[in-house]
Amino acid sequence: MIKTFLIAYYSHSGNTRTIADLIQNMTGGDLFEILPKQPYPENYNKCTEQAKREINSGYKPELQKSVPNIETYDIVFIGSPNWWGTIAPPVATFLSGCDLSGKIVIPFCTHGGGGQGRCFADVAKLTPKSNHREGVVISGNRVNSAQPELEKWLQNIKAINEI
Ligand SMILES: Cc1cc2nc3c(=O)[nH]c(=O)nc-3n(C[C@H](O)[C@H](O)[C@H](O)COP(=O)(O)O)c2cc1C
């Protein structure tokens, strides 16, 4: 049976987008960029301060658009940068607003040295009725050489060549 893939991600400075593009390329899935209505400041310090406030208060920013026909996908990759040890608020909005029950959910994250933090645990918390597969964690400064690792990971979790 042919499975359909969606790769949904948020990226502030491009690292997570690079990984999303590579996964798209290897799976042939559809890409969806999660975009908040109000973009985050480009300035790093301003962005981290705003993000900290939002994460601490559980704020979920409004998004520009939702995925058309989410029900048609079997496997949904969810990508986020590690922001203060968790997923970026727009990703939390996205997961809270769409029904991924019964689907296979596979997280991925990029980081600046802190690894996955609570990113994958928080994706699982927001998708309690989904089936989860092991995620992949890529350091932000290694995204451009991540292809071999991603290929191995996708084969291990049987997301390519097998499902
Ligand atoms: C608001 C903010 C908070 C961050 N918090 C963390 C963190 O807690 N741990 C970490 O390892 N990296 C942290 N980073 C670094 C990003 O996770 C890293 O640069 C990531 O690859 C950025 O992905 P992007 O280019 O897709 O936005 C933070 C970056 C920003 C902008």
- The residue to mutate among 44, 59, 82, 84, having the most atoms of ligand 1 within 8 angstroms of its beta carbon, is 82
Q: Quote the CA–CA distance of 123 and 117 in Å, as a whole number.
A: 12
Fold of 5-156: Rossmann fold (3.40.50)
* 29-55 tens-digit pLDDT: 999 999 999 999 999 999 999 999 999
Pair type for strands 86-87 and 131-132 = unpaired
Q: What does the pLDDT read at residue 163?
A: 46
- Tell me, what amino acid is at 12? H
| For the chain, domain boundaries | 5-156
* Ligand 1 pocket test, candidate residues 16, 43, 84, 137, most atoms within 8 A of CB: 84
Nearest CA to ligand 1 atom 8: 84
Residue 126 CB coordination number (10 Å): 19
Position 155 scores a pLDDT of 94
pTM score: 0.97
